[in-house]
Amino acid sequence: MWKSWLLPTLAAAASLSFTGLGLLGALTRRSPSQLPHLFLGVVVLGVLGFLLTIPMLLDVARSKKRRQEGEEERRIEISAGCGIWPPPWSRTVASLCQELGVQPSRGLTTSEAIARMKEHGSNRIEVLDMPGYFSFVVKEMYEPTQVLL
């Protein structure tokens, strides 16, 4: 577990140390005369490096959370949230019809269909709200190309 945190943590620490060294050099004004903005460049390098490590740290945190959800949660996620395991597309029509209590030749009556719709909800895909402009801007800020620009 700790091995997955090692690289992102070392990268963040190195970036922060670059930033600290750059700030220290800029505050003490010990920059060589040939490179007057040397320490400013080191500060920028450190800040950009740290910004690039944030997605790595978030990815490690998300993977840890996924591991803690357990096997049952992963099964439900794999079966597209339908709650049936194994997933319906991997089973035969006969076994699904038997489990759901449907005769393929007859289908459902209107009253059965209404009762199932009341129990399970309508057969519609949930439409999620679009992310806001602020979240789009924040996401774009962490793109490596945008950070370098």
For 9-56, write each residue's pLDDT tens digit: 888 888 888 888 888 888 887 767 767 778 888 888 888 888 888 888
Name the residue range of residue 47's domain.
Answer: 1-69
pLDDT at 77: 52
**CA distances in angstroms from 129 to 55, 69, 147, listed in the order given:** 24, 25, 27
Please tell me whether residues 14 and 56 are part of one structural domain: yes
pTM of the complete model: 0.41
Number of structural domains, the chain?
2
Helix (H, G, I), strand (E, B) or coil at 36: coil
pLDDT given for residue 30 in this prediction: 73
Q: What is the pLDDT of residues 62-92, one digit of tens each?
A: 777 766 665 555 555 554 455 556 777 788 8
CA distances from 144 to 44, 137, 148 (A): 14, 14, 6
Please indicate, yes or no, whether residues 60 and 96 belong to a single structural domain of this protein.
no
Residue 56: partners with Cβ closer than 8 Å, 6 or more residues away: 7, 8, 11
Q: Is residue 49 within 8 Å of residue 11, measured between CB atoms?
A: yes
